[in-house]
A and B are shown apart, each in its own frame.
Chain A
C-alpha cells in the first residue's frame, strides 16, 4: 500500500518536472560566456607608468557581457573587470586592481574601460578580463584589442621583465636603443609614437624616472 503511494507520488513529481521544463531548450546561466561576450576599441598607443601618471587611454574600450544564451549579464561590478597584455607582457600594480571598468554592467550587459593603467611592460595589445574570464579567448577566436601599451618600466625584474620601478635598468635599456636612427627601431621605447627614438622619447622617459607603484 505504502509502496504504491510512493510510486504514485514519484510519478506526479516527475510529471510536474516535465511540465515545468516542457518547451525549454536553453537556460540562462548568468555566467559570463567568453565567446558570446565582446570587447572592442579603436587602435592606439597607451603610455603607462607604475605611478599611474601615464597618458589617458587613447580610446574607450566598449564591453558587452552575455551568458551562454546570449542574454546580457547585468550588475557585474566594475572591479570585476581588468586588462591583460595580449602576449602577457604587462605587469600591473596591484594586479587586477590596477584598472577597473567605469561602472557595473547595465541591463544590456554593457560597460566601458577608460582609465589609465598603472604598471610596467610593453605589449602589442590588450584583452579584457571579466570575473577571471578572458573575453573572446575561449573556444572562439581570441580578441586582442589594438591598444599598444608601453611603460618606461620594462626591465629590472628576473629575466628582463618589468619590476614596477623605473630604474637604472630601464635607463640602460632605453640608452641601448637611443637614438633611432642610427640604431634599429625598437617600438617599445617610442614613447611619443613618432616612429623614431628621439630626445622627446628620452625626456618622456626622464620625466618618469624613479616612479614606482
Chain B
C-alpha cells in the first residue's frame, strides 16, 4: 500500500515537472480571443459558431525570452474554420500565408525592429470564418501550429516553428501547440423517455 502511494506521488511530481517545463518552452499557439492593445490573449479552445460568423484568430509567440527579429510557421486549420485574410504586425515584412495547405505552405515574418520576446508576442491575426463544417458531436477538431512547409523538410521546410534571435540572427526552433475546436466530446446515446425514466427507478 505504501509502495503504491509512493509510486503515485512520484508520478504526480514528474507530471507537474513536465507541465512546468513545457510551459517554459518557446512556443507558438493560436488563440480565439485577444486584445492586442493590451497584449492579452486567451482561449485556446472554442465551440462551433454559426456558418458565416467571423472569427479572428491570434497567433502568438510565448516564452521565447529573447529579442525576436522574425518567425516562420504554418497552421493546419480545421474544416470548421476558413482562413481568409491575414494582418501582419505593423512594420513587418511577410512572405507567404499561414495556411499549411497540406504541409506545402507557411508564412515567414520579418520585423523591421527587434520585438520583445520576453512577453507574449503577436505574430499574426488571421481573419477566419466559421464554415458550418462543425459538429461537436463528432469530436474535437485540432488547430495546429507547425513548421514552415513542414512536408518539405530538407528542401526548405521545417518540422517546427522557428524564431530568429536579435542581434546574432540565430535561428531557434520552438514548439507548435494545438488549439481545439470542440474541446470536449459530448457523448450521446439515442433513447426514449421511458428509457430515461428507467434510469431513476
| Chain B minimum-CB-distance residue to A198 | B171
Contact B112 A200 (CB under 8 A): no
* Contact A200–B156 (Cβ < 8 Å): no
A199 lies within 8 A of B112 (CB): no
A203–B108 alpha-carbon span in the complex (Å)? 9
Cα distance A71–B182 in the bound complex, in angstroms: 85
Known: A179-B156, A206-B112. A200 touches B95 (CB 8 A): no
B11 at the interface (CB under 8 A from A): no
Cβ contacts B8-29/A at 8 Å (1 or 0 each): 0000000000000000000000
Cβ A203 vs Cβ B69 within 8 A: yes
If over half of B's interface residues share one DSSP class (helix, strand or loop), that class is named, otherwise mixed; here it is strand
Interchain CB contact under 8 A, B70 and A206? yes
Interface status of B98 (Cβ within 8 A of chain A):
no
The tally of residues in B whose CB lies under 8 Å from a CB in A reads 24
Contact with A along B97-127 (1 / 0, CB 8 A): 0000000000010111110000000000000
Interface size class of A (residues with CB under 8 A): 20 to 34
| A209 contact set on B, CB distance < 8 A | 93, 110, 112
- Among residues 164 to 213 in chain A, which have CB atoms less than 8 Å away from a CB atom of chain B? 171, 175, 178-183, 192, 198-200, 202-207, 209-210
Interface residues of A (CB under 8 A from B): 171, 175, 178-183, 192, 198-200, 202-207, 209-210
Apart from A181-B154, A200-B171, list 14 A-B contacts with CB within 8 A.
A180-B156, A182-B155, A199-B70, A199-B108, A199-B162, A200-B70, A200-B164, A200-B169, A203-B166, A204-B169, A205-B93, A207-B112, A207-B113, A209-B112
Q: Please report B residues at the A interface, Cβ cutoff 8 Å.
A: 69-72, 92-93, 95, 108, 110-114, 148, 152, 154-156, 162, 164, 166, 169-171
